[in-house]
Amino acid sequence: MMGSDAFVTVLAAAVIGGAVARILLRLRLAAPPVTLMRVNVSGRHVPAILGSPMVFGAMCGMFFVVAVGSTGWEAGRIGSIGLAAGLLIVVMYVAGSIDDRRGDEPARGFGGHLGAARRGRLTGGVVKMLVGAVSGVAAGALVADGWRPVLEIAAIVALTANLVNLLDRAPGRAGKVSLLLAIAPVLLAPDDWTVATAALLGSLAAVLPSDLGEKAMLGDAGANPLGAVLGLGLALAMDEPARVATMVLLLALNAASERWSFSKVIESTPALAAFDRLGRHPPE
């Protein structure tokens, strides 16, 4: 069970991350770039701008944790897990931002992006795949020994990042699913993961109302780092058989998105549809 020092550190980091995210969100909403406008499932034009407030809030909270750890506060010493989480947040944010700036591309899904690559066209999706794989391996190498667990962690990181990104079309969907996915790592992963990512989750909670209200969406710059860090947490929370099973499940879900629309499946399933609508308050 998490000690009181770790709990206080988690709470402080989450509050700092959320406060910074809220301040930056107001600035971003005041003048959203035209290049970041997207059409959501409701047919509304929504700016994909929540990634930068969330990530900068997360990094500010993480800097706080590192700072208190350097003073001797044991709970702030997040070590290699913190380094791995920070690496994924920064790298996946940069890759996602580049993809967001490119706008909506005709190539969709793994098949579409890989097909474009075979024709000599480098899409943002291909760049994200490569960056996700490399950063996942780097993060895995920081927290695990042996090529097999490192590759398993890398696969879970990359697949979770892509899955969260696939859920970002509907208001609040990616954020709510991410909060659910965070439960297992918070309960089962080492405390270092929870302390290191508390600011990210606090920042997500701060920007989620704007997502639910269809004022903005995460975009690749938000969904990819969020999913990658959650993937790291899921991998750390499991033993090898569970990691393999999770990897297979994530691969199946990502592959299923190539053929079926998640939105249509959710809308046709009452329980999923009720969860999907939870908290939404579309603008008048």
Residue 99 lies in a domain: yes
What are the angstrom distances between the C-alpha of 96 and each of 80, 90, 133, 239, 275? 24, 10, 14, 30, 27
d(CA 233, CA 192): 10
Do the Cβ atoms of 53 and 216 come closer than 8 Å?
A: no
Q: Is residue 219 included in any domain, yes or no? A: yes
Q: Within a domain: residue 253?
A: yes
Q: What is the pLDDT of residue 114?
A: 52
DSSP-derived letter for residue 237 is T
- Element (H or E) spanning 38, and its range? strand 37-39
Give the per-residue pLDDT at 41: 81
- Whether the pLDDT of residue 186 is over 60: the answer is yes
In a domain, 200, yes or no: yes
Q: Of 4-8, 24-28, 103-107, 197-201, which range is least confident?
A: 103-107
CA distance 11 to 199: 9
> Is 166 part of a structural domain of the chain?
yes
Residue 146 counted as domain residue:
yes
DSSP class of 249: H
| pLDDT tens digits, one per residue of 146-183 | 999 999 999 999 999 999 999 998 999 999 999 999 99
What would the mean pLDDT of 205-216 be, rounded to a whole number? 96
Task: For the chain, give the number of residues.
Answer: 284
pLDDT band of 99, cuts 50, 70, 90: confident
- Look at the pTM and tell me if it is higher than 0.75: yes
Number of structural domains the chain divides into: 1
Does residue 93 fall inside a structural domain?
Answer: yes
Task: Quote the domain boundaries for residue 139.
Answer: 4-277
Q: Is 112 exposed, middle or buried (0-12, 13-18, 19+ CB in 10 A)?
A: middle
In a domain, 198, yes or no: yes
